[in-house]
Amino acid sequence: MTLVAARSRQAPGSLSRARHRAGRWIAAGVMLVLVALAGVLIGQVFVDPGTVARIVASRLLGVSSVANDVQERIVWDVRVPRVLAGVIVGAALAIAGVVIQAVVRNPLGDPYVIGVTPGASLGAVTAIVLGTGIGSLGVAGAAFAGALLAFVGIVALARRGQGWAPGRVILSGVAIGYLLSAATYFLQIRATPAQLQRALFWTLGSIAGVGWMALPLLTAVVALGSGWLLLRAPWLDALAAGPELARSQGVPVGRFQAELMVIAALVTASVVAVAGGIGFVGLVVPHVARLVVGPAHRRLLLASLLLGATFLPAADILARTLLAPVELPIGIVTAAVGAPMFIAQLARDDRGAPA
């Protein structure tokens, strides 16, 4: 190990690289705003942009609005909460994906693997099929309960002694996932056509029904979870080198992994309870973000948050315009767009699995 004289090397391109980097963050922020604006402007009923602006301004700033009641309800009660729901749900699923991939140390980590998605599906479908006439609040409650129960089951299976076995999380997640899916399918076979339609729409996910009511709580959960994770990002980096190494650097690994899993489960369970089983966002967005900003977790979490918050409202615009006036479940769009992106990345990544 030759001790090279200190040549504090300021790489010649480092300033322009920093500027380039800042440019990408700004571009991502602008994209998010543009998608959100498009989400408010686009819909089955045409409302001209000036009217939309006046409606939003009247609500936010108290400027008197000249729009009629119908336009007002379309924009303020349907489109705006829907776009906001897309932003929150997309961000939540993406950061949950980052966390789960870090804990199980496997590129396949997503909310499905920790049982949240299949558990929520079973809970929701049970409520839809058995609890005839149950409202959406009841379905959401059942989905939330199902998600957490499945998560607890997987944790119980994956825990070994006092430690976590990441490989076992995936294995028990897949096993319990299939088991719960079997139960969900069984219920769907016994369902009436109307119930089946509702169940199908739920399992594929939709942010149509989130509404103003659920948004404050959802935002609070996601903001708290993200904030905590951003503070803990350096620990996530240590964990990326393996549990033993993280421990040698002072990370209480067992407690930290448990903390991460509980946050990921609570955030995704809250989101999935109101939006259904939206797939692929939690899996794909972290991988795309990693390609752009690298593996260090503070940037990775922020980038995933931004990308997820942009991707889901964009997918939602497609879901409601592609076959208009028929609306597609958003899960179909996220999978149809996300899977090819994932495959393209696999093809690009000649270094092997995107670990």
Partner 1 sequence: MSLDVNGITVRLGGQNVLTEVALSVPDGAMVGLLGPNGSGKSTLLRALWHALAPERGAVLVDGADVAALPTREVARRIGVLTQDDGTDARYTVRQVVETGRLPHRRLLGADDTPGDPVGEALRRAGAVEFADRRIDTLSGGQRQRVLAARTLAQATPVVLLDEPTNHLDLAAQHDLLALFRRLRVTVVAALHDLNLAATYCDELHLLDAGRLVASGTPDDVLTPERIGAVFGVAAAITTNPLTGTRAVHLGPRHETGSTS
Give the footprint of partner 1 on this chain (CB under 8 A): 1-4, 6-9, 11, 105, 231, 234-235, 237-238, 240-242, 244-245, 247-253, 290, 294-296, 351, 355
Sign (positive/negative) of CA torsion 211, 214, 205, 124? negative
SS (H, E, C) the chain: CCCCCCCCCCCCCHHHHHHHHHHHHHHHHHHHHHHHHHHHHCCCCCCCHHHHHHHHHHHHHCCCCCCCHHHHHHHHHHHHHHHHHHHHHHHHHHHHHHHHHHHHCCCCCCCCCCCHHHHHHHHHHHHHHHCCCCCHHHHHHHHHHHHHHHHHHHHHHHEECCEECHHHHHHHHHHHHHHHHHHHHHHHHCCCHHHHHHHHHHHHCCCCCCHHHHHHHHHHHHHHHHHHHHHCHHHHHHHHCCHHHHHHCCCCHHHHHHHHHHHHHHHHHHHHHHHCCCCCHHHHHHHHHHHHHCCCHHHHHHHHHHHHHHHHHHHHHHHHHCCCCCCCCHHHHHHHHHHHHHHHHHHHCCCCCCC
Q: How far is the CB of 338 from partner 1 (least distance, A)?
A: 21
CA distance 326 to 16: 48
- Specify the residue, 4 or 326, whose C-beta has the smaller distance to partner 1: 4
- Specify the residue, 6 or 60, whose C-beta has the smaller distance to partner 1: 6
- Specify the residue, 29 or 252, whose C-beta has the smaller distance to partner 1: 252
Q: What angle do CA 214, 218, 219 make, to 5 degrees?
A: 120
Q: How far is the CB of 11 from partner 1 (least distance, A)?
A: 6
- Specify the residue, 6 or 189, whose C-beta has the smaller distance to partner 1: 6
Q: How far is the CB of 253 from partner 1 (least distance, A)?
A: 8
Q: How far is the CB of 150 from partner 1 (least distance, A)?
A: 29
Q: How far is the CB of 171 from partner 1 (least distance, A)?
A: 19
Q: How far is the CB of 1 from partner 1 (least distance, A)?
A: 3
Q: How far is CA 315 from the centre of its chain?
A: 13
Q: How far is the CB of 154 from partner 1 (least distance, A)?
A: 23
Q: How far is the CB of 102 from partner 1 (least distance, A)?
A: 10
Q: How far is the CB of 177 from partner 1 (least distance, A)?
A: 26
- Specify the residue, 300 or 305, whose C-beta has the smaller distance to partner 1: 300
Q: Which single residue is written with the structure tokens 């005839």?
A: 132
- Specify the residue, 137 or 241, whose C-beta has the smaller distance to partner 1: 241
- Specify the residue, 38 or 224, whose C-beta has the smaller distance to partner 1: 224
- Specify the residue, 132 or 248, whose C-beta has the smaller distance to partner 1: 248
- Specify the residue, 168 or 247, whose C-beta has the smaller distance to partner 1: 247
111 and 93 in contact (C-beta within 8 Å)? Answer: yes
